[in-house]
Structure 1
Amino acid sequence: MERQFTRRIATALEPVGGTVDQWRVLSLLSDGAGHAMSQVAEHALLAAPTITKIVDGLVSQNLVYRRVDETDRRRVLIFISARGRTALRRWDAAVARERAAMEAETGDDLALLAELLTRLAARL
Structure 2
Amino acid sequence: MTLSRVPAADSSAPTTAVPELLGQVAYQMSRRLEAALGPDGPTLEQWRVLALLADGTGRPMTEIAGHVRVPPPTLTKIVDRLVDRALVYRRADEVDRRRVLVFLSEHGRRTHARFAPAVAGVAEALVDELGAQDAARLAELLERLRTLPA
Question: TM-score when scaled to structure 2?
Answer: 0.67
Number of aligned positions between the proteins: 110
Give 5+ residue unaligned stretches, structure 2. Answer: 1-24, 135-150
Q: Deviations over 1:56-95 (max 9, x none)?
A: 0000111000001111111111000111011111221111
Could you say which structure has the higher helix fraction? 1
Shift of 1:47: 0.4
Give 5+ residue unaligned stretches, structure 1. Answer: 111-124
Larger radius of gyration: 1
Shift of 1:15: 4.1
Q: Does 1:72 align with 2:126?
A: no
Q: Superposed, which structure 2 residues align to 1:1-124 within 5 Å?
A: 1-107=25-131
The amino acid of 2:69's aligned partner reads L
Q: How far apart are the structure 1 equivalents of 2:115 and 2:73?
A: 24
Cα RMSD of the aligned pairs, angstroms, is 1.9
Give the structure, 1 or 2, with the largest relative contact order (CA under 8 Å, sep 6 or more): 1
